[in-house]
Amino acid sequence: MNKGKKQSITHHSLDGTHHPSPITHHSLDRTQNTEHVDAHIDHPNGVVWHPGQVSHGDRCHLLGQKGIVLWLTGLSGSGKSTIAVETERRLIEMGKLCYRLDGDNLRHGLNNDLGFSPEERKENIRRVAEVAALFADAGLITLVSFIAPYRDMRRFARERIGADRFIEIYVKATVEACKKRDPKGLYKMAESGVIEQFTGVNAPYELPENPDVILDTESMSLEQCVRLVLQTIRDHIELTGE
């Protein structure tokens, strides 16, 4: 490794311009003067947070973007996943580092031990909020598509991730519209009793009181929705080489 050698990495902005950011590579045998950190033990088992020497700002500067979470909430069939998938593709094409956390996908792994009771739904959201918070801290643009039917769940996610890094996007569609779409046949199964505690049929969905963005998928096309999400990202997190 070349000690202290500077290299320029080019970042692509969402408007197509390029912004070089100098970074410095240091050899692994580099010695540092570190200050003693007083450990504050507030965990019941005496677990102490171990601070690092790389900040959130350092990671964001390296990537040329700010870490943020765009949380898409709405009924099953409203279009959350479809919008998130297309937005993720566009962001990658623009040279932006992003990741998509999908509710169904996470139930195949991280949350495969959870059902759909109110308590399990809360644990489902708690886990994904923790993951999203880590991704945002790493500097990623994180797209979360989860029904998150209860307001207190979404409030918890905002507080855990940080209000300055959290954007709530309400993907709006009526139950009737979602039933007509029913791409996975879930509404039919719920109405016939095959699926219990299904949001919009036999489990509640609490409408967002003051979402940051509303995507009405009954009146907006996929392209219009994606453009609005990308514009929201431009307005909130774009770094321009500062």
Mean pLDDT in residue range 94-102: 93
Q: Does residue 16 or residue 234 have the better pLDDT?
A: 234
pLDDT digits 0-9 by tens, 212-235: 999 999 999 999 999 999 999 998
The H or E element spanning position 57 is helix 56-63
pLDDT of residue 10: 52
pLDDT category, 192, cuts 50, 70, 90?
confident
C-alpha 238/C-alpha 13 separation (Å) is 7
C-alpha 173/C-alpha 222 separation (Å) is 13
pLDDT category, 105, cuts 50, 70, 90?
confident
Q: Does residue 62 or residue 45 have the better pLDDT?
A: 62
pLDDT digits 0-9 by tens, 33-45: 444 445 555 667 7
> 42 is written with which tokens?
């507030």
Q: Are 64 and 239 in contact (CB under 8 A)?
A: yes
Mean pLDDT in residue range 19-37: 48
The answer on pLDDT for 154 being more than 90 is yes
- Three-state SS at 2: coil
Among candidate residues 89, 198, 232, the one with its CA nearest the CA of residue 81 = 89
Nearest 5°: CA angle at 165, between 162 and 168? 95
In DSSP terms, 141 is beta-bridged to 68, 98
C-alpha 129/C-alpha 122 separation (Å) is 10
The answer on pLDDT for 152 being more than 50 is yes
Whole-model pTM over 0.75 = yes
pLDDT of residue 203: 87
Burial letters 158-192, b for 16+ CB under 10 A, else e: beebeeebbbbbbbbbebebbbeebeeebbeebee
pLDDT of residue 117: 86
Among candidate residues 198, 193, 195, the one with its CA nearest the CA of residue 77 = 198
Q: Are 98 and 64 in contact (CB under 8 A)?
A: no
CATH assignment, 66-237: 3.40.50.300
pLDDT category, 148, cuts 50, 70, 90?
very high
Percent over 90 (pLDDT), the chain:
52
pLDDT of residue 52: 85
- Average pLDDT of every residue of the chain: 83
In Å, the largest CA–CA distance within the chain is 67
pLDDT category, 115, cuts 50, 70, 90?
confident
Among the residue ranges 8-22, 84-98, 139-153, 169-183, the one predicted with the least confidence is 8-22
Q: What is the CA radius of gyration of the chain?
A: 21
Q: Does residue 39 or residue 170 have the better pLDDT?
A: 170
The residue written with tokens 């009771």 in the block is 117
Mean pLDDT in residue range 202-210: 92
The answer on pLDDT for 72 being more than 90 is yes
